[in-house]
Amino acid sequence: MSATQQGTKLYPGITRPLSLEGPTEYDIHLTKELQKTLMLYGLYDSEETAKLREHVLKSLDEMTKKFVQFVYERQGFSKEQAVKAGGKIFTYGSYRLGVNAKASNEQIKDITPVTDAFVPVIKFKYSGIPIDFVCARLNLEEISEDIDLKDPEILRGLDAHSIRSINGTRVADDILSLVPNMDTFRATLRCIKLWATRKAVYSNVLGFLGGVAWAILVARVCQLYPHASASTLISKFFHILTSWSWPSPVMLKAVEDGPAFANTKPWNPKLNPTDRSHRMPVITPSYPSMCTTHNVTQSTQRIITGEIKQAAKIVDKIMAGSAKWPQLFEAHSFFKMYRQYLQITVVADNYELQLKWTGLVEARLRQLVIKLEAIHSVMQVHPFMDGFSETCLYRTSTDKVTVSQGEKYDNNRTIGKMKMEVDVTIPIEEFKRMCRSWTEYDYRHMGVEIDRLEQSDLPKDVTALGKRKILESNVISTTNKIAKRDEGTELLTATTTVVL
């Protein structure tokens, strides 16, 4: 573990702490007020929900073992050998870091395989608990209950997808081992995750920062101020990132050497040209070290840093007593910011197919952002991280085919005929062709279309989400709509939107 010595004590991190001061009474007061605010947003599990999560994990572990046994027996192994082969569930992400929020109350539903993702994942909800289920195959004869994933040798011979899957758990464990105070880290991270979600800059897929990246950034600030309260760490967090000299990387420890893997190399901009292209590198502490922010684009970097600067000003007021914590978490005003928008409509006439189709398009949406950024007269492309439910109705089989191909929605209202100030035809058509190249694509049952919208064309339920001055320059933004299940004459749709 990387550590630096301050006097007679060792502190985790690649540099010495900037301050060893502890919290004042006022700092403690602000931290208590913060925790009250976080509770109002449902960021702490109840005892009942915590037990439900444990039940879900136990159930998934049992399912995994049964699945492995089933596969082994089909391949001709004896039942004893199949049972001995084992299988095990490991948690990662927010749950393993101890910062998961409340869940709803539903059974298993919305099973969505996303095979084109950087880490292939099966998304679903189990008893209301959202699950991102990733898989890895180890080069071991059996998976024992006490298997330890810390040793990098366990990665030997694995494909890149398996390494990334296992590293989810290994990275979370390393982050926790590299922070000086786990409770303060968790309180600070809950705050930053809520802020990033409210400001719509929490999405690795769309080029913003995901949960691991935000966790590493918070952990680094904790290393620099090991005895500070959560309120102080939040202030330091925004001020440090406001002045950070990107693309200088953020790391919790030095990049380690380890066993050579043909499929994966540790992050090293000196040796790997791809690593030199990373705009805001935030590096994982586990071998092989990887950049968690490789999806960040020129536009999303500008948006993230802009929100960080605004947050720093608000937190300054909170620290001075002239503002309250809820002001930090005021919702974004995405739908009031721009003059023109692009709306990507993803449609299918089958519920399960729609989940897969939407997942694929969303996984590729960042490619559209990059293509739009390449247009000389476009200053910024702003993808929106969330979806909105919508259901379309059809009365005839012809209407069903028409709508399932993405040509119209909202009860036969056709939109998207307005003229854009910038010609984005080529990148739009290239993106649609990219999506339609999916091996399971069938034009008779699914479609993807991109419509041009003026701000005045946006639905009232989204335009009411806050106010901010409209930008006059050429900007592109993105929003998502996920529709409901097809029942009777209702056609399931999913809509994703980008704005210009």
User: Is residue 19 a part of any domain in this protein?
Assistant: no
Would you say 193 is a known binding-site residue? yes
Going by C-alpha positions, the residue among 267, 295, 270, 298 that lies closest to residue 283 is 267
**pLDDT at position 343:** 87
Residue 304: give its domain's CATH number. Answer: 1.10.1410.10
* b/e per residue 271-303 (b: at least 16 CB within 10 A): eeeebeebbbbbbbbbbbbbbbbbbbbebbbeb
User: Is residue 195 a part of any domain in this protein?
Assistant: yes
**pLDDT at position 471:** 37
β-partners of residue 413 are 409
The reply to whether 191 and 309 lie within a common domain is yes
The reply to whether 158 and 186 lie within a common domain is no
What distance in Å separates the CA atoms of residue 445 and residue 353, rounded to the nearest whole number?
9
For residue 128, the enclosing domain spans 47-170
**pLDDT at position 101:** 77
Q: Is residue 338 within 8 Å of 382, Cβ to Cβ?
A: yes
**pLDDT at position 392:** 58
What distance in Å separates the CA atoms of residue 388 and residue 403, rounded to the nearest whole number?
18
User: Is residue 55 a part of any domain in this protein?
Assistant: yes
pLDDT in tens, 280-312: 999 999 999 999 999 999 999 999 999 999 999
Would you say 211 is a known binding-site residue? yes
**pLDDT at position 108:** 63
Q: Could you give the angle at the alpha carbon of 19 between the alpha carbons of 15 and 25, nearest 5°?
A: 150
User: Is residue 462 a part of any domain in this protein?
Assistant: yes
Residue 375: give its domain's CATH number. Answer: 3.30.70.590
Reported as half-sphere exposure (CB side, CA atoms, 13 A), residue 488 has a value of 3
Q: What is the dihedral of CA 369, 375, 377, 382, to 10 degrees?
A: 0
- Placement of tokens 């806050």 in the chain: 466
The reply to whether 242 and 359 lie within a common domain is no
The reply to whether 323 and 191 lie within a common domain is yes
**pLDDT at position 149:** 93
> Looking at the chain, how many residues does it have?
500
The reply to whether 163 and 239 lie within a common domain is no
Reported as half-sphere exposure (CB side, CA atoms, 13 A), residue 11 has a value of 23
Q: What is the dihedral of CA 265, 271, 273, 279, to 10 degrees?
A: 80
The reply to whether 54 and 33 lie within a common domain is no
**pLDDT at position 354:** 84
What distance in Å separates the CA atoms of residue 74 and residue 11, rounded to the nearest whole number?
52
What distance in Å separates the CA atoms of residue 313 and residue 298, rounded to the nearest whole number?
23
**DSSP string across 425-480:** HHHHHHHHHHHHTSTT--TTTEEEEEEEEEGGGS-HHHHTS---PPP-S-EEEEEE
The reply to whether 317 and 428 lie within a common domain is no
Residue 16: how many other CB atoms lie within 10 Å = 12
The reply to whether 140 and 280 lie within a common domain is no
**pLDDT at position 394:** 56
The reply to whether 41 and 51 lie within a common domain is no
pLDDT in tens, 218-268: 999 999 999 999 999 999 999 999 999 999 999 999 998 877 776 778 999
Residue 90: give its domain's CATH number. Answer: 3.30.460.10
What distance in Å separates the CA atoms of residue 11 and residue 78, rounded to the nearest whole number?
52
The reply to whether 322 and 388 lie within a common domain is no
- The three-state secondary structure class of 114 is strand
Going by C-alpha positions, the residue among 251, 253, 217, 229 that lies closest to residue 181 is 229
Would you say 132 is a known binding-site residue? yes
Element (H, E) at 410: none
User: Is residue 372 a part of any domain in this protein?
Assistant: yes
| Number of domains the chain is built from | 3
What distance in Å separates the CA atoms of residue 170 and residue 191, rounded to the nearest whole number?
23
Last residue of a domain, one of 121, 147, 170: 170
Provide the whole-model pTM.
0.86
**pLDDT at position 389:** 53
Residue 8: how many other CB atoms lie within 10 Å = 5
User: Is residue 7 a part of any domain in this protein?
Assistant: no
User: Is residue 251 a part of any domain in this protein?
Assistant: yes
**pLDDT at position 387:** 64
Complete edge-to-edge strand list for the sheet that includes strand 109-114: 109-114, 121-126, 129-133
Phi, psi dihedrals of residue 161, rounded to the nearest 5°: -65, -40
The reply to whether 114 and 152 lie within a common domain is yes
Instruction: Flag residues of the chain having pLDDT under 70.
Output: 1-8, 103-109, 262, 387-421, 461-500
Last residue of a domain, one of 121, 138, 170: 170
Q: Is residue 87 within 8 Å of 65, Cβ to Cβ?
A: yes
The reply to whether 209 and 324 lie within a common domain is yes
Last residue of a domain, one of 136, 170, 204: 170
User: Is residue 12 a part of any domain in this protein?
Assistant: no
Residue 120: how many other CB atoms lie within 10 Å = 17
